[in-house]
Structure 1
């Protein structure tokens, strides 16, 4: 199979998955307790008023008609309007998406910067104190709930020492860059400093589990590669140990690590709900919680569809990169 056909196959599979996500999200609207009319109608609304509201929302139509209308509207970029604020669902969701992506990327950078060196050190110093420390760190990181870690970081570093803000987001990375471009270096440095202060604790909280997972994966991959025959052959040739570790062994170890990195990035985009809630981060997670609390189904559906689509896109990119790095994947 050629590389192009491989990408086309994966793309078609991605379209099917997105359609499945859209269908499931649509069905959830009708199997969950409560009624969308209840979120719009006053408490003392008459039956006539409730019927008129249902007709305006299209809820008086048969289920299959509502489903086909929903698919058609999605294909035309229309995700409906918020029951509460009247704002377009697409406008509200996509305005929150940059904050979630920013948090996911920041937590990924922290995780990669810590986990790969820790994994290499743990593998090359096996059964030494450095190995035990890295292993313990990864075990604690995987076992620690994100919400508890976030609360502890707030109590210690924000409330007790006042180093970081307790919650919120002053502005995003793009806004900080614009400030630097429009107001000069001094204002830009201050803007990036403020951006770092707000994003550090949420990123550390979200990236801790990710860091521990990649550390363990890198360690096991390095141990496996260091025991291969080609490593012994390169050592017999007299190559420096650092070259053997980082150019040969680590390079081969990174192939499965890249796959997990991509998959986890998609998970971070969709799984930042608790972290965003703890830190009042204005992203998709907070939007999703608010929509659930107010039964704002257009916002809820739009958020879930965007998260699901983003996860599929990330997986497609990972498949493309993995197939490029390992041509055997395409051959299979």
Structure 2
């Protein structure tokens, strides 16, 4: 019972911290329009078009910029708290654009993390168990190479080899899963692998380092001295204790992917949230920019919160320390 109450306190504290972080980010995002040089209304209308005072006043009223800044901020913050991110310059609610693009980015990021974990964790374990041998050097070199290659170069190479030369998978595009599930996953494979290979290299290196640290602990030598089978020592005791750094990097990478898939989405023509943000910036659609950034930040904070909760579940010592 005491353990459960401690866990609830830890989760509540982390949730309160996450809400404060989200409020700070939302405030900074709202301030973007006022930090940027020039009048945002004139930027939107285009100063070269010499808009009439009536057009400027109409757009200023549409955006709510004719009200005091504090009133604008409180109204925008209150609406954002209930899921109303305002209206895009074309008149459609920003939340509709976000909800249409967000699942595509989440699907791509989740698929990339899945690919990275499936490839990176076993490679890291194998390298740690063969420390100093040929396999360790080979896997470590491949991991370094995977981290060094930019995603747009790797993606371009995969398109040339897998799509154009071998014809195994489509080179780009998006098909809704309800229309054709097989084609949908075919088009998802290349961008997911492109993102996942670089992440797999990072996960492999972290797994190797964490495994080596745990393998050098006294309790591992004690378990071996008692005659416990090596496989049980590795999978039941070593890997569990090494899991926290692995969970850390997986969670952070997943959060980074929420807003870091711009190059891959552009390369493979994947209509996700990053593509929406880039389009909004190029069109000077500031309400859509604000809504996209707040959504990405909220997801990043939520993922970090989930990672912190996993910390407490994996290692009770962290739970007791934070309480």
- TM-score (norm: length of structure 1): 0.89
Give the structure 2 partner of residue 131 of structure 1: 136
Q: Would the alpha carbon gap of residues 28 and 91 (structure 1) be closer, same or farther in structure 2, given more than 3 Å must change?
A: same
| 5+ residue gaps, structure 1 | 180-190
- 1:3 aligned to 2:7? yes
Judged with a 3 Å threshold, the aligned counterparts in structure 2 of structure 1 residues 207 and 33 are, in CA distance, closer, same or farther, namely farther
State the match for 2:19 in structure 1: 15
2:151 and 2:194 in contact (8 A); partners too: yes
Tell me the residue number matched to 1:57. Answer: 63
- The whole-number CA distance in structure 2 between the counterparts of 1:227 and 1:41 is 65
2:83 corresponds to:
77
Match of residue 150 from structure 2 = 145
Q: Deviations over 1:185-205 (max 9, x none)?
A: xxxxxx443222111111111
CA 121–6 in structure 1, closer or farther in 2 if over 3 Å, else same? same
Structure 1 residue 101 displacement after superposition: 0.6
1:139-178 aligned within 5 A: 139-172=144-177, 175=178
Matched with 2:53 is: 47
CA distance in 1, matches of 2:218, 2:82: 56
State the secondary structure of the residue aligned to 2:242: helix
For residues 114-125 of structure 1, the aligned pairs below 5 Å read 114-125=119-130
Contact 1:39 1:296 in 2 (8 A): no
- The alpha-carbon deviation at position 9 of structure 1 amounts to 0.8
* Alignment check: 8 A CA contact 2:155 2:190 kept: yes
Which position in structure 1 is the counterpart of 2:239? 250
Partner Cα separation in structure 1 for residue 38 and residue 24 of structure 2: 23
Give how far 1:32 is off: 2.4
Aligned length, in residue pairs = 315
Inter-partner Cα distance in structure 1 for 2:254 and 2:29: 22
How do 1:183-198 residues align onto structure 2 when only pairs under 5 Å count?
A: 191-198=180-187
> In the superposition, relative to structure 1, how do residues 27 and 3 fare at CA in structure 2: closer, same or farther (>3 Å)?
same
What are the superposed Cα offsets for residues 282-324 of structure 1, whole Å, 9 maximum, x if unpaired?
1101001100100111111111111100111111111111112
Say whether 1:269 aligns with 2:263: no
Pair 1:235-2:239 in alignment = no
Deviations 1:136-160 (A, max 9, x none): 1110111111122122222222223
Secondary structure of the residue aligned to 1:295 is coil
> How far apart are the structure 2 equivalents of 1:49 and 1:243?
73
Moved over 3 A (4+): 33-36, 38-42
C-alpha contact 1:21 1:305 (8 A) present in aligned 2: yes
Provide closer, same or farther for how the CA distance between residues 29 and 208 of structure 1 changes in structure 2, counting only shifts above 3 A: farther
In the alignment, the residues of structure 1 paired with residue 33 and residue 44 of structure 2 have an alpha-carbon distance, to the nearest angstrom, of 15
**Consecutive unaligned residues in structure 2, runs of 5 or more:** none
For residues 18-60 of structure 1, the C-alpha deviation after alignment (integer angstroms, 9 at most, x for no partner) is 0011111111122224544246547252122212221232112
